[in-house]
């Protein structure tokens, strides 16, 4: 019997995940199919009870809502406080979070960059920022400076992890911290869709960065955001978030099947899907 897998969220629009995982099923001769499955919040609990899917991914806005609905959680999911990958084992749904290690995998594969002893400026304090903070702390970064339009959310990350390597700042203080940063990460939506001509940092602010600073924007559509264009014009290395999506995807496959596609193949599948007109969510 064909096993069912899915990505759940609302509104989903089109997703790149089916392209990745259905290609994986085909390559590995796995009798399974993966679909986009939009559902409203009030339907979430019923989905977990139904055990409809053998495994599924959770995307915006349900990563935190899914946490208490899982029968069991990995330590990673517990510490981050969000779930993005779920599997059915002996009638129980087990939830984990592959966003965190997926981000680290992207850094290593795309930029040969390790988080050990690095100073990091994290722009935004939502779910992705929480996962990145978890990975950076685990990989022994030196310092994480968090800035968000909501100081309450920024301070929430500091409280959640209770680690003295985490600092929070206001945007007006960027000038004081950017010169010391090894890695700058945008996790805000600024730079996509209706803010495509905007950058979370200005040319003047980015010009303070040292030439070895890596600038990462977890947005991948457009493939080069305004932030990345400014950084490139200053001679800084940049990468977008397509690799994070690929990383979390193949780590999800590993969670489900103990095997996965290779990283470079996963990115190629995504690029082909984008080129063929599949939407960019």
**CB neighbours (10 Å) of residue 189?**
15
- Three-class SS state of 184: strand
Pairing mode of beta strands 55-58, 72-73:
unpaired
- Three-class SS state of 44: helix
**Which among 52, 63, 142, 210 is annotated as catalytic?**
63
Pairwise CA distance, residues 236 & 152, whole Å: 31
Q: Is 87 a catalytic residue?
A: no
Judge if the upstream peptide bond of residue 222 is cis by omega within 30 degrees of 0: yes
> Measured in whole angstroms, how far is the alpha carbon of residue 160 from the centre of its chain?
18
Pairwise CA distance, residues 121 & 177, whole Å: 8
Pairwise CA distance, residues 119 & 64, whole Å: 27
- DSSP letter, residue 243: H
Largest CA distance in the chain: 59
Backbone angles phi, psi at 214, to 5 degrees: -95, 135
197 contacts: CB under 8 Å, gap ≥ 6: 226
Pairwise CA distance, residues 276 & 210, whole Å: 38
Pairwise CA distance, residues 58 & 17, whole Å: 11
- Catalytically active residues, by annotation: 63
């Amino acid at each position: 019997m064909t096993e069912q897998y899915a990505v759940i969220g609302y509104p989903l629009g089109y997703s790149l995940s089916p392209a990745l995982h259905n290609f994986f099923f085909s390559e590995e001769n796995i009798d399974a199919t993966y679909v986009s499955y939009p559902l409203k919040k009030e339907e979430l609990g019923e989905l977990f009870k139904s055990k409809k899917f053998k495994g599924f991914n959770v995307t915006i806005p349900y990563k935190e809502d899914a946490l208490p609905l899982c029968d069991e959680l990995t330590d990673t999911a517990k510490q981050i406080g969000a779930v993005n990958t779920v599997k059915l084992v002996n009638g129980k749904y087990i939830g984990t979070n592959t966003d965190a290690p997926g981000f680290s995998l992207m850094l290593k594969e795309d930029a040969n960059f390790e988080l050990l002893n690095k100073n990091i400026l994290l722009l935004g304090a939502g779910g992705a920022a929480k996962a990145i903070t978890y990975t950076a702390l685990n990989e022994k970064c030196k310092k994480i400076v968090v800035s968000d339009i909501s100081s309450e959310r920024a301070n929430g990350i500091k409280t959640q992890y209770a680690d003295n390597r985490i600092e929070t700042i206001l945007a007006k203080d960027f000038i004081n911290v950017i010169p010391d940063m090894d890695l700058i990460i945008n996790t805000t939506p600024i730079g996509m869709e209706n803010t495509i001509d905007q950058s979370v940092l200005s040319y003047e602010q980015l010009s303070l960065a040292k030439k070895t600073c890596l600038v990462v924007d977890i947005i991948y559509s457009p493939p080069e955001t305004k932030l990345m264009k400014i950084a490139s014009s200053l001679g800084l290395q940049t990468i977008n978030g397509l690799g994070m999506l690929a990383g979390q995807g193949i780590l999800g496959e590993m969670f489900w099947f103990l095997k996965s596609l290779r990283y470079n193949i996963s990115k190629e599948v995504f690029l082909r899907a984008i080129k063929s007109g599949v939407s960019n969510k």
